[in-house]
Structure 1
């Protein structure tokens, strides 16, 4: 079986255990934040590689990262 290369907004929300809703993903798209996405045939798809890159860029080692 070929690895999945794209996720729908519903699948991406499920990947994050529903903590980020489909509506939040839509809001992120309109505000140009969140993972990169494609518009295909009137729908939205997220490349799994873009999602993983976005997740990796937001990985936090500890709260001390945010201290000034």
Structure 2
């Protein structure tokens, strides 16, 4: 089965495991923030490629931690 090119509002909520609500997505559309979407008639669809782009734009990049020696990792006595 191929990956759909567009997701519905409910599918977007499922993609983000319910951490983004339908209401939040509606508010973001009104304010023109959040992931890009396409509106065809009354249907609101989110292109998967735009969701992937939005994910990357919100990625928090952490610096690698420095390597610790065994002495530094050993519990204090």
Asked if 1:27 corresponds to 2:27, the answer is yes
Q: How many residues align?
A: 63
| Cα deviation 1:10-60 (Å, max 9, x = unaligned) | 100110000000110000000000000000121100000000000001100
Runs of 5+ unmatched residues, structure 1:
63-68
Runs of 5+ unmatched residues, structure 2:
63-77
Asked if 1:17 corresponds to 2:30, the answer is no
- Per chain length, whose mean CA-contact separation is higher, i.e. which structure has more relative contact order (CA < 8 Å, sep 6+)? 1
TM superposition score normalised by structure 2: 0.76
Structure 1 outlier segments of 4+, above 2 Å: none
For the pair shown, which has the larger CA radius of gyration, 1 or 2?
2
Asked if 1:2 corresponds to 2:8, the answer is no
Partner of 1:45: 45
TM superposition score normalised by structure 1: 0.85
DSSP 3-state at the match of 1:29: helix
